[in-house]
Amino acid sequence: MFQSVLNALFSCSHRRTTFPLTPGRRDAALAVAGSARTYVVCLDCGKEFAYDWAAMRVGEPVTPRLPTTVAQPMFR
């Protein structure tokens, strides 16, 4: 509870965002299903949020994407 009060007082308000972005076809083919939707990014903290074109509103935070590259083990 104390943490939520601190977040409400001192966290980012996400008021400055980018124009809504939708990944292109090439990116959509590589993306995980469901992550190729329209989103906006907060210019202050870098957090991504879903964007609803019908309501023209910022939605819920987008879950972090999985890394596209996987480290290969080193064999000696």
Task: Using alpha carbons, select from 53, 52, 58, 56 the residue that is nearest to residue 13.
Answer: 58
SS3 call for 71:
coil
pTM assigned to the model: 0.58
pLDDT score at 49: 92
* H-only helix segments in the chain: 2-10, 25-30
pLDDT in tens, 27-76: 444 445 444 589 999 998 888 999 998 898 998 888 766 666 777 788 77
pLDDT score at 4: 67
| Residue 5 vs residues 2, 9, 61: alpha-carbon distances, Å | 5, 6, 19
Distance CA(76)–CA(70), nearest Å, equals 19
pLDDT-derived band at 8 (thresholds 50, 70, 90) equals low
pLDDT score at 29: 47
